[in-house]
Amino acid sequence: MKRVVVTGLGAITPIGNNVEEFWNGIKAGVCGIDEIKNFDTTNFKVKLAGEVKNYNEEDYFDRKEARRLDKFTQYAIIASREAVKDANINIDEIDANRFGVIIGSGIGGSKTIEDNAKILSEKGPDRVSPMYIPMAISNMAAGNVAIDIGAKGESFAMVTACASSTHSIGEAFRLIRHGYQDIMIAGGTEAGITPLGVAGFTNIKALSQSTDRLRASIPFDKERNGFVMGEGSGVVILEELEHALKRNAKIYAEIVGYAATSDAYHITSPAPGGVGGAKAMELAIKDANIEPKDIDYINAHGTSTPLNDSSETSAIKLALGEAAKTVMVSSTKGNTGHLLGAAGAVEAIVCVKAIQDGFVPATIGYKVPDEECDLDVVPNTGRQVNINYAMSNSLGFGGHNSSVIFKKYNK
Instruction: Give 171-226 as a DSSP string.
Output: HHHHHHHTTS-SEEEEEEEE---SHHHHHHHHHTT-B---S-TTSSS-TT-TT---
Give phi and psi for 49, each to the nearest 5. -160, 170
Residue 292's Cβ-count burial label (10 Å; 0-12, 13-18, 19+) is middle
- Rg of the chain, C-alpha, whole Å: 20
258: enclosing H helix or E strand: strand 253-262
Q: Which of 31, 167, 243, 301 is catalytic?
A: 301
Residue 301 designated active-site: yes
Q: Which of 162, 243, 351, 373 is catalytic?
A: 162
Residue 136, CB half-sphere, CA atoms under 13 Å: how many? Answer: 14
Residue 162 designated active-site: yes
- Contact status, residue 129 vs residue 365, Cβ threshold 8 Å: no
Q: Which of 31, 167, 243, 338 is catalytic?
A: 338
- Contact status, residue 255 vs residue 173, Cβ threshold 8 Å: yes
Give phi and psi for 235, each to the nearest 5. -140, 135
193-206 b/e (C-beta count within 10 Å ≥ 16 → b): bbbebbeebbeeeb
Please identify every residue annotated as catalytic.
Answer: 162, 301, 338
